[in-house]
Structure 1
Amino acid sequence: MESKDGKSTSVDEKQKPDTTKLDKSKLSDLKEKSYVTRQVETSVTLLDSPENDIVLEALLFISKYADINNNNLIYLIKSGIVSKLLNSFTKNICILRISLRLLSVVLSTDDGLYEIDQDKYDDKILEISNMYIGHKDGFVKEYCVEILAKVASSCRVTTIIFNTDLFNPMFDNIKSAKNVNSLYHNMLLFYKLIDAPAALSALAEYSKFDTNIIIAHMNHKEKKVGNFALETIEKLTKYGLPFLQESFKKFGIMEKMFKILMDEQKEYQHSTVINIIHNCLNSEETSTYFVESIEFLELCQWVKNCHPRYLLPLSELFIKITNTPDLQQMLFDLSVEESILYFFRLKHKDVINQTCRAVSNMTAHKYCCEHMLTPVVAETLVEVLERQNDEEDPYNQIAWKTVFHFIRRSVNGLTLFMEKKIKPVLLDFFLNKAHLVTEETYLMIIEIIFRCLVHPQYQEEFIHKELLQEVLKLFKESENTVVTTFCCEIMTSINHLNAFRTFFLQNGPLIIINKLKNLKDVNLITEILYFIFSCLIYEDIAMAFLHQGLLQVLKTFDEYISYNIPILKKVNNLAINYYLPLKFYKTGKLEITDKLPNKFYVINGIWCDTFPFIEILEMMKVTPYPTIYLVDYSYEVRKGVTLEAESQETLKSTTSLLSKSTDSNLNSTTLSRISLTQSPSVFDIKYGKISTDIFLPRYIYHLKKYDVFLQGPMEDRIRLLAEYVDTLLCGPKDDLSLPQKIHEYQLHIQCLKEKLGNNIIPIGFLRMGFHCERALLFKALADKICIPCSLVKGSLKIYWNEVALFKEVDGEERLQIYVIDLMYEIGNLMLVGTKQANKYCNLN
């Protein structure tokens, strides 16, 4: 109650205390005792009396009053009881005991703690500390430790009493105290003192400090003490100081925690024990030392049947030990992985996630990986991957990581997961969710896709347009070199499939070439070149790469890239050799082993644009500026040696002429008569487009018909073919001077262009020609009658052919290269490198 003057009182002052009767049936009467406010105030005032008896009597009265309820304590605090009690320490032992006890009671309230936490009482707090350290009376020491334990809640006060060196006596008391209350408050004081900034670092300097002092009280018969000992250990392990953890390790802290955890009768301590285990797992000194202990092996068996509520906290334990590579063999020997798999029995997302982490760690051990991957485990993981709306792990990244490790490390991993229907889950995730996860998980998903696509059993099963689109998109847009490399490897592994090549031809070559431009990463360039190299065996893809400017891009790489990527040169050579018109345009030479394709052409002039492919030339609406000579075998390929009706008469006359001559007497005059053919019909001309060469197949047919061109010494065959070419291209007049011949040649070419409506002239249409025309026609005919020869372009429009012949030199037969004279001494063979050959080739 509150009086008019604002003072608190238990009963009304007007009420007579001797007339009040105690009604034991009323709870309020049992809790309260009638005190007159004036009597309480008087007693508080009497505490300043010099008479010890009066002070003692006042203290006893106040103590009884204080024990009734908290309201009385608050009233006493407001009455200034704290300062008066602190001033009573100099009186006799009885007063000291009661004063300390009463002060301890007062400090049980927040108001009391607030009151004493002032600078003016610092000396008194130090006095209490000194009494705790040095007083001989047991009751005094007990009350002092209670007071210190309570005031230590204040950081300021803790710093003050910490400086009085309380630790050593406190350790002695904790170790030897018989009184439970005293033991408890000593432990409480220690618990609070270690919050002081310098307390933990100072502990190592105290000789009497030993963690075993605390550990020894864990099994105290009083639950209050045992529980608090565990709480103190929990706090110490949370700091994780090496010297503390080493001490705990010495006394087997983890083993002791395991035993308590497996004891059902100590369930009330399990929560604290689990916290201690987690704290110790975070310290290097105590995280794994216990693996070989009996207690840990018992725990591994216990978890197989323990209550599910323990699985989640204990999963951290198994994650920690399995993440230590040096322990994996030992854990496998102890069959710890079997205990880990038992965690899957609880269909709780957090437990499964934690279990997946431990399983992932153990899969690093090959034999353990094979042992752990069972159909049940695979099915469980697939079920986890199908899980939706997981707040902690919405995209099941932990489970994906486990699946990834199984697939990477187990021989049968991919097969087993495919049997458990992981394909639709994997494809859906890759196509729709992969961009939402971390980079680590993203790379794992891509590698799983890669392993599926390179596996012969699942390649065609995984190939479909959406997947290929995503792979090509990633290759194009990703700035991550690892992702791009994986995509490139995927495409390399499946380029032999028709489905992939059909899809890739749409815009794949352009994407590859654009990616290759300006790249500096040697490894990525190498992977891309390997992919291109593997594609060049397919005509459609090879031509697509050439059309997109592959050779121009390869040419832009500097010497450093070329030196460090040997395959770059191989890709360049393979690409050039694949399309001989381009090879001749780039290098100016066709080797003896290069046989002309069905359509081969030579640009006889300066071409300033990118190289024109035949498909482009056929689609051009305007004629190219320089003259292009075309070797077109397509007529022969399409209709064989069957000739048109209009050429039959010519064939008969030619046959008659050849039959009148013997092979040995076949000369240029005869060849000239053989070569005279009719002019092409207007029906053979595709005006403005590329016309079909109806003459070249006839020449080939004529040559193949007579053994003189197919048999005999190679030199004679070469000479004879040279004379045949000279006869075809010498023109109708042999007696003209060189300028006149050039003029006639130019008129001839111009007439052909006007008649064809195109600058692309089939080589068979020519009736005049010099170095270029003769060398090209010689090569075109020689390839069809098995005369190996090259085609070489020199300077100043000089072209020539080279052949390889075996000649006897210094008594030995050697292979030598000769240049064929098609201009002056027709059929003459000049050894390469000689003055005569160099003059003919204009190499001087």
Structure 2
Amino acid sequence: MGKKVKKESETPCKETFEALPVVGKTPATVVLLLSSPEEDILIKACEAIHTFAEKGDESKVSLLGLGALEPLCQLITHNNKLVRRNAFMALGIMATNGDVKSALNKIDVTPLIIDKLSLEVIHEFATLCLASLSVDFVCKVQIFDNNGLPPLIKLLSSPDPDVKKNSLEIIFNLVQDYQSRLAVHELGGIPPLLELLHSDFPVIQHLTLKTLQNITTDKDTRNAFREQHGFEKLIDILNNTVGRCDFSDLHAEALQVVANCLSDSESVQLIHKDGGLTRLMDFLLTPNMPEIQSNAVKCISRVAKSSENRKVLHEHNVEKVLVELLSVADIGVKTSACQAVAAMSFHLSSKDRFRDLGGIPAVVQGLSSESLALRQAATQALSNLTYNNKHSAFAVFEAGGHEILVQQLNGSCPRMVANAAATLGNMARHEIICCSILSHGAIPALVEPLKSTDTQVLVNTTQCLTVLACDTEARAELQRAGGLQPLVSLLQSYHKEVLSNTCFAVHVYACEESAAVEMCKHGALEILQEINQSVNRKSSYSELAMISLLNCNLSVKYSLTGHLASTDVIVDGFYDAGKVCGLLILTLEELFKQPVNQHRPIIVVNTSTDSTQFFFLKKKKCNCTVSLYRNKTEDDTQKDETKCEFPTKKVWKMMDDSLQVLIKEVKESILPLHEHEQYAALARLVSEAMGGPVRMEKLHEFPWVLHLSELKFQLQSNVIPIGLITKGIYYHRALLFKCLADCIGISCTLVRGEYNRAWNEVLLFDGPPARNGCSSQPCRYIVDLMHQPGSLLAADTAAAVQYQTI
């Protein structure tokens, strides 16, 4: 048998299959094919997905669920041009669906698309995809950050209209944001945009105008736009002078761009050329074209910002046209017309023309519109019309506008509230109108705007309140409505105009004593004192408000300023607490509650004849707490005593308060005397009541300190009635002199000095009347109450200075 021989292995077959047609009957199968390594299969699969996605949103969502997005996003970077193209086609169609768009943003495909914009073969679908995605804010940021604007601007000059339209749509979405608006003109985007105005496709023309409308809101962009003769091209479109084309369908949007451009004086000058202003006037009366009319009126409003242009418009009789537009049905046209009226009202003759043409009732009707924009524009127009114009104010009044304006003070729109307050303030300067405004509850309605955070609302509200404070009842009404507290709170504002107006309002309302007292309770004095100590916030208004409040609280005024004028009349309850250090000013009741201390006593004036006017309540078996109660009845006293354990009552009258005796004596013996004799006699009377004359060198021996300490101990209080003091020095005697002088109506001041000094100044005529019959100038004198009582020391002499200082 022969040996077995090993069989040789067969040679591998080098033959390949012929190309097989791939047929995918289900979307899922086609999506699986997107992962194939075969380029032909990828091309056909992407094409099939594109065709399927074109059927509608349901198909797009189905493909999303099958996971088609991720492989498509990978294929847009494929080396094969046809694969890339078809992948972009499929992705672009799918991206028009909202769900797909959201999914693409999560995949972060935007940088990949931007990177491929330079490849001509996929421009249409790449830009289509970006156009869908660029609606989203995140995608817009990605496009900008990945330098997507330069290639997009370049594509505006593409020969393919679809590429132009898609690129323009992306740019339009981007320029909603400020940084993109700036970048468009910096990257040279304005010239290609202007070229697109001549496109044969209306959609491109409209998109271009919308884009220009956005970018021309920026001043620098408007300058670049004007340098490229863009404004003139817009005027040509409005005049239909470009070739043989009819641009009437573009007029509304072109006018919006023109309105933006007219914010600059340079463009306003250009509008006068080539009949631009006349053309605008023609648009105002375009029948059945509300959008064009509205935009034309906006242009007129921008032109009217210049006083010179207002004069030109007035010569064109623009007021008549605007009054006609106030009567049209379209709300947008009415609103724009009111805005134009507001702008033109800065021209005095135009105010009169509007009124004469019956335009004011038409504007007043706009106050009742359901449209917030119209109501706001109407209030602005009325505010401007009534400013410094009596006849217009009465025209609004006769049309019943003030009633509606009062209601609008409680509106939610700050600008409307501010305009309503301004208009009412303008009208209230006339007494008849003011009374009617008050009768409709204007002051209570102004309380809520006082709490606003909008500065213009606060400025106009405080002005209006000041004008309405025409009588006692009006001022009391603000107090009853709870408006004084928010008014005082505004004193803390750091806005200059708000603070000035608030200070002036405080000054006006402080003439009512009850209002002044309440404002002081809310801290107005402390806030004003702090303001007046500030270099930046102090003003003549803050000083005026401070003076007004102090004039209603002479005790505080004397503590803060150390001076009472001859017109400041001391009344019952006045107290001298000494010079105040810091901002805290205690009331008399608070001073009574303090325990007895070593500080100088508080001297109080009690001119009442009622023995129960002032009294103390002191508790035994407890700390000595002293309280002041005013105008108590016997029943009230008994109730208070039942609350205390072992109470005792100390009435000042029982301690020989001689103030009433002095007042009676002054009225009987001094009032009948001549002027010079009155001062001398009153000085001697005060000196006798306070311990008599004291020689300068013996002043240190005068036991006034011991006497006051004994009174404090007897009363168990730091507060001492001036009628109980029988040994007083300069500041006691000066206060008593002022008090008695005020009781009989003779004029003198009270001035606090240093080191317990105080004095009274009087004005006297020394000589006979001058030859022309006029009185000579009065001379100032210091009344000596201490050393040579009754002597009148000429002010600024050595004797007077010695009396005032140590």
TM over 0.5: yes
Secondary structure of 2:531 counterpart: coil
Correspondence 1:580-729 to 2 at 5 A: 580-590=554-564, 595-603=569-577, 611=585, 613=587, 616=589, 627-635=601-609, 687-688=649-650, 695-706=658-669, 710-711=672-673, 714=676, 721=682, 723-729=684-690
- Counterparts in 2 of 1:403 and 1:294: CA distance versus 1, 3 Å: same
Residue 472 in 1 paired to residue 447 in 2?
A: yes
Q: Contact 1:488/1:528 (CA < 8 Å) preserved in 2?
A: yes
- Counterparts in 2 of 1:482 and 1:750: CA distance versus 1, 3 Å: closer
Tell me the equivalent position of 1:659: none
Looking at structure 1, the residues matched to 320 and 345 of structure 2 have their Cα atoms a distance apart, in angstroms, of 13
Tell me the equivalent position of 1:554: 528
Residue 444 in 1 paired to residue 412 in 2?
A: no
Tell me the equivalent position of 1:648: none
Looking at structure 2, the residues matched to 293 and 331 of structure 1 have their Cα atoms a distance apart, in angstroms, of 16
- Counterparts in 2 of 1:427 and 1:551: CA distance versus 1, 3 Å: closer
**Per-residue deviation, 1:254:** 3.2
- Counterparts in 2 of 1:468 and 1:796: CA distance versus 1, 3 Å: same
Looking at structure 2, the residues matched to 796 and 274 of structure 1 have their Cα atoms a distance apart, in angstroms, of 82
Q: Contact 2:418/2:461 (CA < 8 Å) preserved in 1?
A: no
- Counterparts in 2 of 1:257 and 1:574: CA distance versus 1, 3 Å: same
Please point out which of 822, 836, 843 is paired with 2:786.
822
**Per-residue deviation, 1:594:** 5.4
- Counterparts in 2 of 1:281 and 1:245: CA distance versus 1, 3 Å: farther
Looking at structure 1, the residues matched to 240 and 121 of structure 2 have their Cα atoms a distance apart, in angstroms, of 35
- Counterparts in 2 of 1:249 and 1:562: CA distance versus 1, 3 Å: closer
**Per-residue deviation, 1:347:** 1.6
Tell me the equivalent position of 1:533: 507
Tell me the equivalent position of 1:749: 711
- Counterparts in 2 of 1:541 and 1:691: CA distance versus 1, 3 Å: farther
- Counterparts in 2 of 1:252 and 1:287: CA distance versus 1, 3 Å: farther
**Per-residue deviation, 1:484:** 2.0
- Counterparts in 2 of 1:503 and 1:820: CA distance versus 1, 3 Å: same
Tell me the equivalent position of 1:485: 459
**Per-residue deviation, 1:461:** 1.8
- Counterparts in 2 of 1:410 and 1:799: CA distance versus 1, 3 Å: closer
TM-score (norm 2): 0.55
Tell me the equivalent position of 1:426: 405
Looking at structure 1, the residues matched to 747 and 705 of structure 2 have their Cα atoms a distance apart, in angstroms, of 33
Q: Contact 1:258/1:295 (CA < 8 Å) preserved in 2?
A: no
Please point out which of 515, 523, 526 is paired with 2:490.
515
Q: Residue type matched to 2:436 in 1? A: E
**Unaligned ranges ≥5, structure 2:** 1-20, 24-80, 86-117, 125-157, 169-184, 213-224, 611-633, 638-647, 693-698, 768-775
Secondary structure of 1:483 counterpart: helix
- Counterparts in 2 of 1:536 and 1:544: CA distance versus 1, 3 Å: same
Q: Contact 1:322/1:328 (CA < 8 Å) preserved in 2?
A: no
Q: Contact 1:236/1:244 (CA < 8 Å) preserved in 2?
A: no
Looking at structure 2, the residues matched to 317 and 383 of structure 1 have their Cα atoms a distance apart, in angstroms, of 22
Looking at structure 2, the residues matched to 281 and 839 of structure 1 have their Cα atoms a distance apart, in angstroms, of 77
**Per-residue deviation, 1:6:** 13
**Per-residue deviation, 1:835:** 7.8
- Counterparts in 2 of 1:746 and 1:429: CA distance versus 1, 3 Å: closer
**Per-residue deviation, 1:312:** 2.9
Q: Contact 1:237/1:244 (CA < 8 Å) preserved in 2?
A: no
Correspondence 1:21-420 to 2 at 5 A: 156=120, 249=233, 252-256=236-240, 271=249, 307-308=287-288, 310-325=289-304, 327-344=309-326, 346-373=328-355, 377-388=359-370, 396-408=375-387, 412-420=391-399
- Counterparts in 2 of 1:231 and 1:277: CA distance versus 1, 3 Å: farther
Secondary structure of 1:320 counterpart: helix
Deviations along 1:800-822, one digit per CA (max 9) or x if unpaired, are 656677889xxx99946456253
Residue 542 in 1 paired to residue 524 in 2?
A: no
Q: Contact 1:723/1:826 (CA < 8 Å) preserved in 2?
A: yes
**Per-residue deviation, 1:694:** 7.7
Residue 459 in 1 paired to residue 434 in 2?
A: yes
Looking at structure 1, the residues matched to 417 and 191 of structure 2 have their Cα atoms a distance apart, in angstroms, of 51
Looking at structure 2, the residues matched to 298 and 830 of structure 1 have their Cα atoms a distance apart, in angstroms, of 84
Q: Contact 1:443/1:483 (CA < 8 Å) preserved in 2?
A: yes
Looking at structure 1, the residues matched to 572 and 231 of structure 2 have their Cα atoms a distance apart, in angstroms, of 88
Q: Contact 1:830/1:836 (CA < 8 Å) preserved in 2?
A: yes
Q: Contact 1:373/1:413 (CA < 8 Å) preserved in 2?
A: yes
Deviations along 1:545-575, one digit per CA (max 9) or x if unpaired, are 4454444333323655378513444444454
**Per-residue deviation, 1:786:** 7.2
Q: Residue type matched to 1:353 in 2? A: T
TM-score (norm 1): 0.53
Looking at structure 2, the residues matched to 502 and 524 of structure 1 have their Cα atoms a distance apart, in angstroms, of 22
Secondary structure of 2:431 counterpart: coil
Percentage of pairs with the same residue? 16
Looking at structure 2, the residues matched to 484 and 727 of structure 1 have their Cα atoms a distance apart, in angstroms, of 57
Looking at structure 2, the residues matched to 426 and 357 of structure 1 have their Cα atoms a distance apart, in angstroms, of 17
Q: Residue type matched to 2:454 in 1? A: N
State the number of aligned residues.
580
Tell me the equivalent position of 2:478: 504
Tell me the equivalent position of 1:642: none
Q: Contact 1:341/1:372 (CA < 8 Å) preserved in 2?
A: yes
Deviations along 1:15-55, one digit per CA (max 9) or x if unpaired, are xxxxxxxxxxxxxxxxxxxxxxxxxxxxxxxxxxxxxxxxx
Aligned-residue CA RMSD (Å) = 6.0
- Counterparts in 2 of 1:233 and 1:566: CA distance versus 1, 3 Å: closer
Deviations along 1:500-556, one digit per CA (max 9) or x if unpaired, are 322333444444333324x43443332222222333433333344445444433332
Q: Contact 2:376/2:415 (CA < 8 Å) preserved in 1?
A: no
Looking at structure 1, the residues matched to 203 and 583 of structure 2 have their Cα atoms a distance apart, in angstroms, of 84
Tell me the equivalent position of 2:149: none
**Per-residue deviation, 1:456:** 2.7
Tell me the equivalent position of 1:671: none
Q: Residue type matched to 2:349 in 1? A: Y
- Counterparts in 2 of 1:155 and 1:279: CA distance versus 1, 3 Å: farther
